[in-house]
Amino acid sequence: MTLGMIKIFEGAGLLIYPLGLCSALAVFIIAERLYALRRAAVMPQDLVDAVMVGKPLMGGRHTVLARIVEFAEQHNNEEGAVKAFARLEVNRMERGVPYLDVIYAAAPLIGLSGTVTGLLQVFSQIAPDTGLPDPVAFTKGVALALSSTVIGLSIAIPSLVGAGYLSRKVDNYAAELDVLLERILKRGRE
C-alpha cells in the first residue's frame, strides 16, 4: 500500500471500521449473487427447451426452474399455490440485494460524518491568539478530513451499480419465469 493510501485510511479515523465492513459486505453480496444468478443455476437452456415443447424434464434438477416444475407436478390442480411458489423462488433470487441498497445509502453518510468530525478537529486547532490557522497544517487537515467521504463514495458507487445490475437480472429472470410458468400450468391442466 502506498503512503498516500495509508494517510487516507488514517484520515478516516475510527470510521474506517464501519466503512471497511460496508465494503466487505458489498463485495461478498455482489460476488455471491453473481454466482447464484448465473443462467445454469436459475434456468438452464435444456430445461427451458423441455418446458417450452412439453417434453419430459431432465437435467438442471437443482435450479430455480426445476424446483418450480417439481412443485407444479406435486400440486397439479393448485394453480394459485404454484404461482405463489414461483414468487417465493423469485424472492429467494433477490436475497441480499436489498442490503446493497442500505450500503450505498449508508457508506457516504458514514464518510460524511467522518469528514465533519475531521473538520471540527481542524478548526478547533486554530490558534486563539491570532485567529489564523497554519496554512500548511490547515490544508493537510482538511484533505485528511475529506478522505472518509472519498472512501464512503468509493464503496457506495460500486454498491449502487451492483444493486442495479442484480435487480435487473432478477427482473429479467422473473419475466422469463412468468412465461415458462404459463406453459407449466397449461401442461398441468391438460
pLDDT digits (tens, 9 = 90+) for 1-45: 676 677 777 776 788 899 999 999 999 999 999 999 999 999 988
Among candidates 32, 100, 63, 74, which has minimal Cα distance to 177? 63
C-alpha cell of residue 53: 415443447
| pLDDT at 47 (0 to 100) | 86
The Cα–Cα gap between 166 and 129 comes to 57
The Cα–Cα gap between 68 and 55 comes to 16
Among candidates 142, 155, 141, 158, which has minimal Cα distance to 108? 155
Look at residue 111 and tell me whether its pLDDT is greater than 70. yes
Look at residue 155 and tell me whether its pLDDT is greater than 90. yes
Whether the CB-CB separation of 108 and 156 falls below 8 Å is answered with: yes
Tell me the CB-side half-sphere exposure of residue 93, using CA atoms within 13 A.
Answer: 27
User: Biggest alpha carbon distance in the chain?
Assistant: 91
| pLDDT at 102 (0 to 100) | 96
pLDDT band at 142 (very low <50, low <70, confident <90, very high): confident
* 37-86 pLDDT per residue, tens: 999 999 988 888 888 887 766 655 689 998 998 888 888 878 899 999 99
The Cα–Cα gap between 122 and 143 comes to 10
Whether the CB-CB separation of 47 and 57 falls below 8 Å is answered with: yes
